Structure 1
Amino acid sequence: MSLLDEVNEKRKEIRTDGYAMSISEWGSLYESKEIDIHPEFQRFYRWSDTQKTNLIESILLGIPIPPVFVSQRKDGIWDVVDGLQRLSTIYQFMGILKDENSNNVEPLTLSATNYLPSLGGKKWNNPDDENNSFSQELRLIIKRSKINVSIVLKESDETAKYDLFQRLNTGGSDLSPQEVRNCILVMLNKEFYNWLQSLASYPSFQECIALSERPLKESYDLELALRFLIFSDIDAEQLEKLGDVGIFITEKMRNIAINDDFDKVSWEALFKKTFDLLRDNLSDESFKRYSTDKQKFSGGFLLSQYEVVAYGVGYNLKNGNPVIDLRRKAAGIWSDQRYTDWSGSGITATRRLPRILPFGREVFDGNN
């Protein structure tokens, strides 16, 4: 098949439409529950009040707003693929935004800007303070302003909206890679997302990874839990064909989330057994560097140590092999050239994983 044939074939799989809609129409869609902005996403997007004010200022000044991308579900509801923060800011300012528990969110109070200093303290409508409320004329300017919508129609390939979401929210996005994956999971299988979140919140796991505040805010603990599900029992053939590891993790996540045969009960039991064992033997030293000179663990979390220890222990437990003498073995990998040669800086995960995962499985197999 030629490139042109491939293009023509794939273009048939993605059906789109688009037009301009007034903000008043966007508000009506939201209030009638004909659009799903996924309020769960609010925990991943972190616009400040200044950024929100800047959006309202842009609308007032007639500055074009980027289009909103939506995917039309089979029931006709629009899923917001890109533009959640823009829409939720507008809805919050108008006083109609609700959180994931369907409670009203505190209406937005604007800040002063360089162009419009009088915006400071203004609300959409404050019955107790008319001087700091938008006038009818200003509200109409907002309501009649238009934002373009691009729609991925329901006739499109089922995976199109997730591909689109990932493309629009990767690279220049403020979201971490796992926060993008979390959003995809919420749209794809919210029950699976909640289950993954429960794994990441497991006390033994949290104690062992001992992350600082910033990676926790960026959902790195969920990424580590997801990596355990993917890599602790991956076969050698897949390891040799990893390619970009970030893309590989996302694709495997999507496959697992829609797989009705994925045994969450067994995987949860393995996850808890693994990290209970690590907690009892290593606690917050589980994934730290070991100094052979000082004979102690120190420093922060190391992904390469996690890949050897967590996946190695998990693999052996899953396959019924005894796992013993954990502390000595975890310290011993730092004097083994098979680990030190492939865990240093400059070694990409694509090159590292096919070598240190089999190493970890061997080290923590109590039969050896």
Structure 2
Amino acid sequence: MSSTLKKNLDSLQSLARERTVKTQNIEFDLETLIKRIDKGIVKLDPDYQRRHRWNDELSSRLIESLLLNIPIPVIYISQDIDVDDETEDNVSRFTIIDGQQRLTAIYRFMKNELELAGLETLQDLNGLRFKQLPPFLLRRLDERTVKCLRIDSTLDPQVKYDIFERLNTGSVKLEPQELRNATARGPFNDALKRMAGNSSFRKMLQIPSENPELSAKVRKMEDLELVLRFFSLRNGGYKELSKGLKTFLTERMEEFNLLPQQSISKMEEEFSECMSFLDCALGVNAFAKYNVQAGQIVKKMSSFNAAVFDAISVGASEYFTREQIASKDALAISKFDDYHVLFEDSDFFLAVSGATADVSKVKYRIEKVIEHLAK
């Protein structure tokens, strides 16, 4: 065996050992599982009512399966804190890696929040809630158990993200930020949810102020990812982008979660100031995409474009001082008077079109905005 091959095999063996997942099969009856969620031992997403992707009919079909004793898929949980470790009462020991929608549906029903709808086999139960079920069906639910596969507590967060992504083959595909929300919990993740509620930000993203949960951007957590993109790419971050935007954002999320609360609070203030500034400068169509010819807008191609958001928000944050942004400096705002001419540049237009996560496109569109503001 050559030394190179032996070295490669040793490296492969080391990597395989490092990435091997240790698991344990466990089984919970529904009552115990609900109690553990209530006590915070098992952590569901804190915003599950707002971000829950299953509609009532899909949730009801799962409950019908439980009542008919039809097997349901295994729920994968991550043991984040070992059972012997001391911790504060409000810190969860387990989080859901895969099965959050199923577990949320069960939780909602057993908490009397879900009204059964769209059942075909047990049609007489449509319109009923948990407490209205006949006693024999309540006994069935008492006896039902849910099979879980527990992932070892020592696992690297990135490996948990990979597991979540590989398991994500259900009827409702999870988006990258939904994966991060489940595998990269922490103070910055909580702050993302607060910042995404900023009124100017929502206005420019075309998210309705009333019933924002009706927006696909909110349901899929795309709004949270946009906030994460802003902080990940600003302060020269876009220059460090080299191995793909998705991985880059996940790594930044982990880094930001480790920041002290004081730093995170400052970031929240800066985000609010920047969105208010851009709202004042550009209004509701701040991040629209245009077809521009001879310096004139021929057509608005979309009211919101995520790549344009990167270019405008990060470009402004890079070029202007915090004082200019916070005070809504008139000269700074005037720099955007003819910003639409950027779209006449074929390279810029390409950089906000198709495969927009491409590293070279991200860098180009941000630098082009900075260059325009510097004129």
TM-score interval, normalised by the smaller of the two chains: 0.7 to 0.9
CA contact (8 A) 1:313 1:323 kept: no
Matching residue of 2:234 = 232
Unaligned 5+ segments in structure 2 are 1-9, 84-92, 209-214, 325-330
Contact map agreement 1:270 1:318 (CA 8 A) in 2: no
Q: SS in structure 2 opposite 1:327?
A: coil
Cα contact 1:287–1:305 (8 A) shared by 2: yes
Q: TM-score, normalised by structure 2?
A: 0.77
Residue 162 of structure 1: CA displacement? 4.5
1:307 pairs with one of 302, 310, 319:
310
Residue 114 of structure 1: aligned partner: 120
The alpha-carbon distance between structure 1 residues 218 and 112, as it changes in their structure 2 partners (threshold 3 A), is closer
Q: Distance in 1 between matches of 2:114 and 2:36?
A: 20
Task: Identify unmatched segments of 5+ residues in structure 1.
Answer: 98-105, 127-132
Q: Match for residue 194 of structure 1?
A: 190
1:359 aligns with 2:357: no
Deviation sequence 1:258-300 (CA, Å, 0-9, x none): 2349833443344334333322222123222343468348341
How far does residue 143 in structure 1 lie from its aligned partner after superposition? 2.1
RMSD of the TM alignment (CA)? 3.3
What is aligned with 2:105?
89
Task: Give the Cα–Cα distance (whole angstroms) in 1 for the partners of residues 318 and 343 of structure 2.
Answer: 20
Q: What residue in structure 2 maps to residue 289 of structure 1?
A: 289
Report the CA distance shift for 1:114/1:331 in structure 2 as closer, same or farther (over 3 A). Answer: closer
Q: Match of 2:277, as an amino acid?
A: L
Q: 1:105-155 CA deviation, whole Å, 9 max, x = no partner? A: x443334633233333444333xxxxxx322x3323222223211112334
Instruction: Give the structure 1 partner of residue 141 of structure 2.
Output: 142
**Corresponding residue pairs, total:** 342
Deviations 1:14-56 (A, max 9, x none): 4321133333443453455543333423321222222222112
Q: 1:19 aligns with which of 15, 23, 26?
A: 26
Distance 1:200 1:31 in 2: 27
CA separation in 1, counterparts of 2:365 and 2:262?
26
Give % identity.
25
Q: State the TM-score, normalized to the length of structure 1.
A: 0.78
Once the two structures are TM-superposed, the CA of residue 301 in structure 1 deviates from its matched residue by 1.2
Task: Say yes or no: does 1:62 pair with 2:69.
Answer: yes
Residues 205 and 117 of structure 1: is their aligned pair in 2 closer, same or farther, counting only changes over 3 Å? closer
- Do the aligned partners of 1:342 and 1:352 also contact (CA within 8 Å) in 2? yes
Q: Is 1:256–1:262's contact at 8 Å kept on the other side of the alignment?
A: no
> Is 157-166 or 139-148 further displaced after alignment?
157-166
C-alpha contact (below 8 Å) 1:72/1:152 kept by paired residues: yes
* Alignment check: 8 A CA contact 1:123 1:134 kept: no
Check conservation: 2:204, 2:284, Cα contact below 8 A: yes
Change in Cα spacing, 1:311 to 1:72, as seen in structure 2 (3 Å) is same
